[in-house]
Chain A
Amino acid sequence: MKKICLTVVGLYVFMFAGFGQKTPADTTYKSRKLTFEEANLVSSYYKQDGNNSAVTGGIGTEKLTDIANVIDVKLYKWDKKDRKQSIDIEVGIDHYTSASSDRVDLKNNSSASSADTRIYPSINWTRENEKKGTTIGAGIALSSEYDYQSIGVNVNFSKKTNNRSGEFTAKAQAYLDKVSLILPVELRPPGSPVRDDEYQNYPKTSRNSYSGSFSYTQIINQRLQIGFLLDVIYQQGYLSLPFHRVYFADNSVHQENLPDTRMKIPLGLRANYFIGDKIILRSYYRYYKDDWGLSAHTFNLETPIKITPFLSISPFYRYYNQTAAKYFAPYRVHTATKEFYTSNYDVSKFSSNFYGAGFRIAPPKGVFGMKRWNMLELRYGHYTRTTGMSSDIVSLNLKFK
């Protein structure tokens, strides 16, 4: 925990050091030097509880807390051909405690897996040609946690329409992940590491995700803009989690077993509308389908209300509904006749409601009179699932320019 605090402080220092490179806003001057554009800090606290943990076969506590901090710094410069080159550097650190993960070895508060820290830095570069209306970009992302490591790469291309009111974007991403095979303690073969903190000794296997994302945004008029989104995602490798238990009808215990490929196709639509001068409607709908038999609908509506031009309150509501994956069954329902099985309620049939509100201030003279502190936003949300799980999340976004 001490390490995390020091890292966060270090990132703050790095972020503020970037302010030294700030140049005055000037529409005619285009800096050839790398210049600070903005920095964002997003922090959140998440807490959940429920009684359907996959670690204990679909029964048992799902109690979990997570503290997340993400800092990103955006720098830019104009090159000799008058193209804007941007670099976005992001570092995220999550620390979680999980009562269910602590049950991998069936002794409460005894295993290293009861808490973990995930660190995920990334860097993205884009080059925008305003004359041609094109943008190209590439990025790399890393992620490391106790039993999971990942390397991600992406490339993207955008092209605006001639009248600049529409934009098409295509993005290709690949994540090459490694999963440590930490089995529930009673299923470990003889000679396996006994203590969870001997994770270096666990065998690893791969899980790869490849995706193509396509979007088209269009300005309809002075108040309305819409966007269509389509992802095609293919996953391959070890897609189960090794410490998820499944209890069969005969009370025998097994390790979750899922197919080694998964194809997902989500299709989304966004529409934002400015009503009068004070209210914005932000809407989002997504239809999702995959080849595990799971389909889902997501509907989200947020309505920022501008109390003043610089202060707004944003109530929001999100409804989500999914069918079960064909490999899901609850505790002690699966039988040995099935090849694939899981008791993870995250892929069961359920619907969920998520609602809350945000508060945002962005005064022209800066937050609390601090000119470089451009914006402060605080947001709270409460989530309930028909399986009985519920959670709360508080998020904070500070923006510096």
Chain B
Amino acid sequence: MAFVVIAFTVGSCTTVKEYQKSRLNDSEMVLSPRKIEKTEISFHTYREGASGANGGKGGGGCGCN
């Protein structure tokens, strides 16, 4: 089901020209986690069993999981 939704979403994309990207280029539209979330992601990594797939580390570099 998820793959159908993904395929439909990607399939429906349109070419956006540079001058049409004012909203997409807004600093709060970035797809990666924002700088201020850095330490929050660290504490979630310490306190929860799951990690990764968020642009950060999935393990290593500290005495956490």
Contacts and interface: CB of A to CB of B under 8 A. Distances in A.
Contacts of B24: 219, 222-223, 225, 274
Contacts of A230: 53
A38 to B, nearest CB: 10
Interface string B23-41: 1101111110011111110
A70 B52 contact: no
B61 A143 contact: yes
A126 to B, nearest CB: 14
Interface string A217-241: 1111111011111110101000001
Contacts of A175: 57, 59-61
How many residues of B sit at the interface, in one of the four size bands?
Answer: 35 or more
Contacts of A179: 63
A266 B50 CA distance: 8
Interface stretch (A3-11, A127-135, A194-202, A390-398): A390-398
How many residues of A sit at the interface, in one of the four size bands?
Answer: 35 or more
Interface stretch (A14-22, A77-85, A146-154, A330-338): A146-154
A362 interface: yes
Contacts of B29: 225, 272, 274, 280, 282
Interface in B9-61: 9-10, 12-16, 20-21, 23-24, 26-31, 34-40, 42-44, 46-55, 57-61
A219 B34 CA distance: 19
Secondary structure type dominating chain B contacts = loop
Given A218-B13, A264-B59, A42 B28 contact: no
4 nearest CB pairs, A to B: A175-B60, A209-B60, A268-B53, A266-B53
A120 B21 CA distance: 36
A394 to B, nearest CB: 10
A280 B31 CA distance: 12
Interface string A27-53: 000000000000010101010100000
Contact of A165 (B15, B52, B57): B15
A66 B26 CA distance: 32
A298 interface: yes
A177 B31 contact: no
Contact of A209 (B43, B44, B53, B58): B58
Contacts of A280: 26, 28-29
B1 interface: no
Nearest to A231: B52
A366 interface: no
Interface string A379-394: 1010101000101010
A395 B61 contact: no
B53 A393 contact: no
Nearest to B58: A233
Given A173-B57, A179-B63, A209-B60, A322 B40 contact: no
Given A280-B29, A286-B50, 10 more contacts: A118-B62, A150-B62, A173-B57, A220-B10, A233-B51, A312-B28, A325-B49, A346-B46, A347-B49, A358-B36
Contacts of A136: none
A137 to B, nearest CB: 14
A62 B36 CA distance: 25
